[in-house]
Amino acid sequence: MGGFSRTWKPARRASGVRASDAAGAVRMPETNKGLPATDMEANRITAPRQGWLRTVAGRLCALGRLRGVACDPSMSAGPQAPLVPASHSAAEPDYADAVSLSFESTAAAVDFLAHVDANLHFLYVSDTSLRFAGYHREFLLGATLTDIVAPEHHERLEALFARAAHSGAAEKETVDLVKALTYPLPVELRVQPALYGETPGFAVAGFDVSGWQGTEAALTHALHHDPLTGLPNQTALAPALQRAQADADHYGVPVALLLLDLDDYQRVNRALGYDAGDELLRETARRLTHLALQGETIARVGSDEFAILITPQLHAGADDVRAAAEALGRRLLTSILQPYSFRNQPVHLSASIGIAFHPDQRHGAGSADAESGNPTSADSTPLIRRADQALQQAKAIGGNTLTLHVPDDDPTDAMRLKLESDLYDGVRNGEFSLHFQPITSSASRGVVGVEALIRWQHPLHGLVPPSTFIPLAESVGLINYLGNWVLKAACMQLSQWDEQGIELQYIAVNVSPQQFRNPRFRESVEEAIELTGIDPRRLVFEITESLLMHDPQHAKTLLEELTSLGIRFAVDDFGTGYSSLAYLQRFPLSKLKIDRSFVENLITSRNDQAIVNAVVGLARTLDLELVAEGVETEAQRELLTNMGCEHIQGWLVCKALPSEELQQRFVSGALHLHEVQ
């Protein structure tokens, strides 16, 4: 400290002692030399533990009623400020002989200053303490500190004094002090063994921490919550995941994690501004919270990404947890599809969801620790990574859908990098080819068309499943190249079959979401038609429900442009994208393909029969052709025929074959064309 101060406030800031509390009996001879002219009686206190307020060490001394503080520039004993007391107050007894409370970091004003004996009876209470607590001196001097502490904190208070007695040093604890005629107030008590005259006891200093606790609570809340939506954030999610995984390991019940990402959310920011984007995120948070019926933890973990944690439920099996996660995911997707509104303008969004479980078939109980290398604490990172892998797969197939993480499709980073490199090599080396699966009349079994399916013949691994390399091609930017190649190769094959006398009604080609959104897609389609000379009315593009719902206006415009050329569109895997059926009549569609999941148990499942019947009725109402995928038995074919499904596709008729083998099937009579009535 440099210079001089004639007020108490700087000293209070430095030491935390109010003027009325700095009362004591130690008086040093007056030494006015070097002090500024003042009408105050000036005394200098020099004893290190009796007269100094140490601003760095935080030594708190209660020595006398002061009217001011001055600093002697000649003093060089460290960061010390000498007290300058005025006349002693006769109204308040001396607080022992040079009793000092060596409490560390005493940076705030003392609100309660007292001395108690070994049984916590008050021996001394400062005037400030009386004003703070609201009691009369006579009452407190006949009471104990325990009497003014909330009963639920009595054990805490007893433990505090026991620690101080054992250590012989200052100890601290926060308790609720019961103020007279008012509410309990959190006070941090700092106690240290000390004599009051010749009576052993404890010096007690109390600090009102209600403001600190409020600030701490606010900071803690801000640290663990997203300021925009009010939801827990990733910081809060991590320990919740760890606890849930530990419970899952203990009780043997899986925990499910859903990651939800809004599809193409940035277009809202670009089109309507960030205020619109923020409002849509807040509304999304409200919708998700409304659907959390079983106390699921919902957190915002990214710009437009949310996590939903389904904690273990006792007596629930793995199938129950899986079903609950899928059901919740479907409800979430449906909720997001409901139109949003910003300044009376409707906004349409969709979402993608990835779901992972702990433990799963590959990552068993405790495996998270093994992956992280930490044997003592559950690591939530592997579960998040698996859910994110499933999410990326959902987005890769067009969004507006959910995907469950499959342990067998969980390559390591090294394997993935190698596969990416092999994918580029495969494109350069011509390792890709087309197989064709017939689509037949369910009644006559005559072939009406074929679906072109891409295959990758890896030189070492053989046929690589499309479920593996197609998402990979999308992630590395090769899907547009492969999609255009498939389109041209399929058109060329249809033209070649025409020359061989195998005149199919149409050939179906799958179109990926990235390919569909490519600005050059229409141009590439026109190039393929011009190159091969096929009639565009014999070309069918198979697209998913989620592709339509991702950006309905763009989808409607492009479909209308391509149908004007004669191209037809089929909705693939119908019933799995959770789109609103009301949207179907908006698009120029020609066909619906019933997903194989509804055909697999068609003979035994009344639910699947009801769904297929409903789809048949819908197709009739909208005047759409219907194809059932995955037909493998004669019983399935017969039932589908009786229900009114016109066409079937599956191993019952023929698996997907190279063009040469399929041609041989026609030549041998194993397959025949459907005769149009």
Same domain, 400 and 363: yes
- Whether the predicted pLDDT of 23 surpasses 70: no
Beta bridge mates, 149: 177
For residue 405, the model assigns a pLDDT of 84
Q: 558: which 2 tokens?
A: 């492009």
Same domain, 363 and 268: yes
Q: Check if the beta carbon of residue 98 is closer than 8 Å to that of residue 26.
A: yes
What tens digit of pLDDT does each residue of 612-647 get?
998 999 899 889 999 999 999 999 999 999 999 999
Same domain, 140 and 181: yes
- Beta strands of 502-658 (E only): which ranges? 506-510, 539-544, 568-574, 591-594, 625-629, 647-649, 657-658
For residue 71, the model assigns a pLDDT of 42
State the average pLDDT over residues 216-222.
70
Report the amino acid identity of residue 406: V
Q: Choose the final residue of a domain: 410, 443, 464.
A: 410
Assigned domain for 675 exists: no
Alpha helices (H) in 362-439, listed in sequence order: 367-372, 381-396, 413-429
Looking at per-residue pLDDT, the higher value among 582 and 260 belongs to 260
Q: Residue 421 — pLDDT band, cuts 50, 70, 90? A: confident
Residue 664 parent element (H or E): helix 659-668
Q: Residue 32 — pLDDT band, cuts 50, 70, 90? A: very low
State the average pLDDT over residues 35-40.
40
- Whether the predicted pLDDT of 549 surpasses 80: no
Assigned domain for 256 exists: yes
Q: Which of 638, 635, 630 is nearest to 597 (CA)?
A: 630
- Whether the predicted pLDDT of 292 surpasses 60: yes
Assigned domain for 40 exists: yes
Same domain, 91 and 234: no
Scanning the structure block, which residue is given the tokens 């807040």?
282
Assigned domain for 263 exists: yes
The CATH number assigned to the domain holding 606 equals 3.20.20.450
State the average pLDDT over residues 342-363.
84
Q: Residue 362 — pLDDT band, cuts 50, 70, 90? A: low
Same domain, 509 and 543: yes
Alpha helices (H) in 48-102, listed in sequence order: none
- Whether the predicted pLDDT of 472 surpasses 70: yes
For residue 222, the model assigns a pLDDT of 76
Report the amino acid identity of residue 25: A
**Who's near 398: CB < 8 A, 6+ residues apart?**
512, 513, 544, 546, 547, 550
Same domain, 484 and 555: yes
**Share in percent of the chain as helix, strand, coil (round to 5):** 40, 25, 35
What tens digit of pLDDT does each residue of 459-470 get?
887 888 887 888
Give the Cα separation of 222 and 579 in Å (integer).
Answer: 37
Give the Cα separation of 188 and 206 in Å (integer).
Answer: 5
- Whether the predicted pLDDT of 5 surpasses 70: no
Rounded alpha-carbon distances, angstroms, from residue 27 to 10, 24, 75, 230: 22, 8, 19, 58
- Whether the predicted pLDDT of 97 surpasses 50: no
Same domain, 159 and 255: no
For residue 401, the model assigns a pLDDT of 85
Give the Cα separation of 21 and 507 in Å (integer).
Answer: 95
The CATH number assigned to the domain holding 124 equals 3.30.450.20
For residue 476, the model assigns a pLDDT of 80
Same domain, 466 and 492: yes
Assigned domain for 416 exists: no
Q: Residue 109 — pLDDT band, cuts 50, 70, 90? A: low
Same domain, 246 and 270: yes
For residue 468, the model assigns a pLDDT of 81
Q: pTM score > 0.75 for this model?
A: no
Q: How many domains does the chain have?
A: 3
Looking at per-residue pLDDT, the higher value among 111 and 92 belongs to 111
Q: Choose the final residue of a domain: 211, 241, 273.
A: 211
Of the listed ranges 42-46, 313-317, 520-524, 570-574, the least confidently predicted one is 42-46
Q: Which of 167, 45, 165 is nearest to 98 (CA)?
A: 45
Q: Check if the beta carbon of residue 170 is closer than 8 Å to that of residue 102.
A: yes
Assigned domain for 4 exists: no
Same domain, 146 and 240: no
Structural domain of residue 537, as residue ranges? Answer: 432-666
Q: Choose the final residue of a domain: 377, 410, 443.
A: 410
Q: Check if the beta carbon of residue 653 is closer than 8 Å to that of residue 636.
A: no
Assigned domain for 21 exists: yes
Give, to the nearest 10 degrees, the angle between helix 606-622 and helix 634-643: 50
What tens digit of pLDDT does each residue of 303-342 get?
899 999 988 666 667 788 888 898 899 899 989 999 999 9
The mean pLDDT value of the chain amounts to 78
Give, to the nearest 10 degrees, the angle between helix 381-396 and helix 234-251: 110
For residue 224, the model assigns a pLDDT of 84
Cβ neighbour number for residue 120 with a 10 Å cutoff: 19
Q: Residue 496 — pLDDT band, cuts 50, 70, 90? A: very high
Assigned domain for 139 exists: yes
Report the amino acid identity of residue 36: P
Same domain, 388 and 240: yes
Percent of the chain clearing pLDDT 70 (strictly above): 75
Same domain, 371 and 486: no
Residue 437 parent element (H or E): strand 432-441
φ, ψ (nearest 5 deg) of residue 243: -65, -40
Q: Residue 407 — pLDDT band, cuts 50, 70, 90? A: low
Q: 224: which 2 tokens?
A: 């663990």
Q: 95: which 2 tokens?
A: 């607080």
Q: How far apart are the first and last CA of the chain?
A: 106
